[in-house]
Structure 1
Amino acid sequence: MTRALVHTLPADLAAWLDAHAEAIDAHAQHHNHASEIVPRLARAELFRVGVAHALGGSGGTTIDAIEAIAAVARHSLASAFVFWGQRSFIEYLLQSDNEALRARWLPALLAGTHAGATGLSNAMKYLCAIEPLHLHAVPLDSGATRFALDGALPWITNLRREGFMVAAAFDRHDGAPPAIFAVPHDAPGVMRSDDLDLIALRGSNTAALTLSNTVLDASWLIAADARAFLARARPAFLGLQCGMSIGLARRALESIDASSPAVRAALDDDAAALRRELDALTARLYDGVTSGAFVAQPAAQFEVRIGLADVVAAAARLDVQAAGGRGYLCAPGTPRVTNDTARRSREAAFVPIVTPTLVQLKNQLAQHRRSEAA
């Protein structure tokens, strides 16, 4: 059984996340905390976790990176969402055959001086035959060394106004497989919308992106064959995403331990059962990512992702029960733990709709079972 050490955040970062989690989640437009998330995570060396020393990382594996995301999610899911976007882009460069692109951009991404965004949610759904690709690449020469890129993606996280690069998959109309490009924010024709008007996670720099005749050459290619690359990268993409659920569920269950003796007596059995389920799902996730089994058996990872979302929902309900009526008080002077309970409920409501959504995953599992039965 694969295990990873539970990641401990530096005290100053944990304190900053706790102090600003509510503002990052719900009131980002009135604060400047959104711009601080990537630099603060970088100063804590978090983007280097799971990256080889030879490439500028601190060593470890993808499992260690998942645990680092879980550690941040215990304090702020919005910050963990940003972390996931940055670390996913880093993972794409690690798995890319384009060594020059990796050498050029990985140092800035690890240092947090540049943001990386994963615009591959559409591509992951394409891989599962859920929807077509929304972006298109037209070769501008016979050697396919320059491309005109067009299309739009409605939802991408970590599009920092200070500068970003987004990984996105493009359909091609010359008979070649779809390709994945790294698209820099300052390329001609790249347009970022205003931040989306979300009900939570408002400090995550989430916006829409439109490309209009954006010309890039082949040096920006992450992968020439998107389908093969995505099948290989998907276990890490989903695994890192699961770190958000693991951390949020752990923190919600910890609220039971901090409750009064009477509350603990009422909820301890339910909380203990959820902890056992959370530990079992986490172990299954880590085993599948480490062994590579999820590459050939994506349905097994889909089941883990669905199971973790169910645990998060149940843990959030216990969190609310432990807080009681205090959880509905928003008056000045309300204890922070009460406000945190309300925030965690909003965060938990987001978990089922992170792409791929639970509905999409359940549809995929149903198709898989029908195929097996046939």
Structure 2
Amino acid sequence: MLTDELEKKGMLEDLIREKLKPIVKQIDLDGFYPKEYLISLGKAGLLQSDQLNDKEMIFHRLRLVEETAKVCMTTGFTLWCHLAALTYLQKSGDQFLKETLLRSLETGQLLGGTGLSNPMKYYAGLEPLHLKAVRAKGGYVVSGQLPAVSNLGDDHWFGMIASVSEQQRIMAIIPCDHKGLTLKEKKCYIGLNGSATYTCVFHDVFVSNQWVIAENADQFVEMIRPLFVLYQIPLGFGGIEVSIQSIKKIRNKQSGSNQYLNIQPEQLEYEFKQLRERYDRIIQFKQLAECWHDILKLRLDTAYLTLKAAHASMLHYGSAAYLQKSDPSRRLREAYFFINLTPTVKHLEKSLSHSK
């Protein structure tokens, strides 16, 4: 197993160096979507789960996200979207979806998005569900609009939850090129424009029974949401670690004047170490649902430290960081995205206050 892990680590490092590092500025400044990098992970076997137990799979995927996010959080985020889609299918219990769609997503033949930003806010009492479903022969007819779904394209699938009645909500996964579904790309953000984010409008979209992941979405979401949030945390970890490294790199510039700033890398390292220790303890639990409060708290604390570290990097770099093409300014924009990624910090603060 150790040999396999070292081999996978080497493959990941090679793919990041060859497929991702050369296009980071293009992703950030031009909104370039890193599709080929995501596909390459699948082709290399780095998204397969059939040879791993649950704990090994979690550790492996966390490392994929963190190592990718160290170089580019936009790409790390699109990878997280894809892993979320994989999680939906792995937890569905539907053999048809597992034997067909899941295999294609794991091998990079197809890519996946989440589509659960609105539902997660619905379950937290922040907003109503935007999609409505009506039972029809062989499936459901869905109407409504999702404001922003990421990691989408012609050969992509994404998850969705729609309300059938006050008592029932369904979860399904559908292809982006499906009849009645209109996608409008969104590139108006201060960062993360390479995330292939679209507004998705459903005009009486027929969703076959074969694509229904769960007839009881409420129950299914409770099962998947720990991993949904857990896989996000390495996005912040990657950003924190690379910000600390960047601060250390320039600590002696301008006659060592950075030593007088009130945020130093040693302080950030200490706080980061505590977050990682909490993360490792959570992963040891067999039933992640029992750690839901701890996962939310860790996600919140990670968001705040990601922003703190990125802000400190801007201060330490000074005027050099103010250039649009600078790595510190990109990481600051990425950090602001991370605190607004569902569950957002205000979403987390509300959920934690209600679960005390």
- Is TM (by shorter chain) over 0.5? yes
Q: Partners in 1 of 2:221 and 2:54 — Cα distance? A: 25
What is the deviation of 1:113? Answer: 1.8
Q: Partners in 2 of 1:342 and 1:146 — Cα distance? A: 47
1:11 is aligned to 14
Please point out which of 27, 30, 44 is paired with 1:27: 30
Runs of 4+ in 1 over 6 A off after TM superposition: none
Instruction: Tell me, yes or no, if structure 1 residue 362 matches structure 2 residue 353.
Output: no
Calculate the TM-score normalised by the size of structure 2.
0.89
Change (3 A) 1:202 1:245: same
What is the deviation of 1:268? Answer: 10
2:281 is aligned to 287
Identity of aligned residues (%): 24
What is the deviation of 1:205? Answer: 0.4
Q: Give per-residue Cα distances to partners, 1:296-338, cap 9 Å, x unaligned.
A: 34222111111001111111122112212211245xxxxxxx7
Instruction: Tell me, yes or no, if structure 1 residue 41 matches structure 2 residue 41.
Output: yes
Q: Partners in 2 of 1:276 and 1:205 — Cα distance? A: 35
Q: Give per-residue Cα distances to partners, 1:88-111, cap 9 Å, x unaligned.
A: 100111111111111111121112
Unaligned runs of 5+ in 2: none
After alignment, is 193-202 or 75-84 more displaced? 193-202
> 1:165–1:184: 8 Å Cα contact kept in structure 2?
yes
Instruction: Tell me, yes or no, if structure 1 residue 230 matches structure 2 residue 233.
Output: no
Q: Partners in 1 of 2:37 and 2:257 — Cα distance? A: 35
Instruction: Tell me, yes or no, if structure 1 residue 171 matches structure 2 residue 167.
Output: no
1:240 is aligned to 231
Q: Partners in 2 of 1:324 and 1:15 — Cα distance? A: 30
> 1:52–1:58: 8 Å Cα contact kept in structure 2?
no
1:353 is aligned to 340
Equivalent residue runs for 1:1-374 within 5 Å? 9-28=12-31, 33-48=33-48, 51-53=49-51, 60-141=56-137, 145-160=138-153, 162-173=154-165, 177-261=168-252, 262=256, 265-266=259-260, 270-292=264-286, 294-329=288-323, 339-369=326-356
After alignment, is 351-360 or 188-197 more displaced? 188-197
What code does the residue aligned with 2:226 have?
Answer: P
> 1:81–1:204: 8 Å Cα contact kept in structure 2?
yes
Change (3 A) 1:140 1:11: closer
Unaligned runs of 5+ in 1: 331-337, 370-374
Change (3 A) 1:272 1:179: same
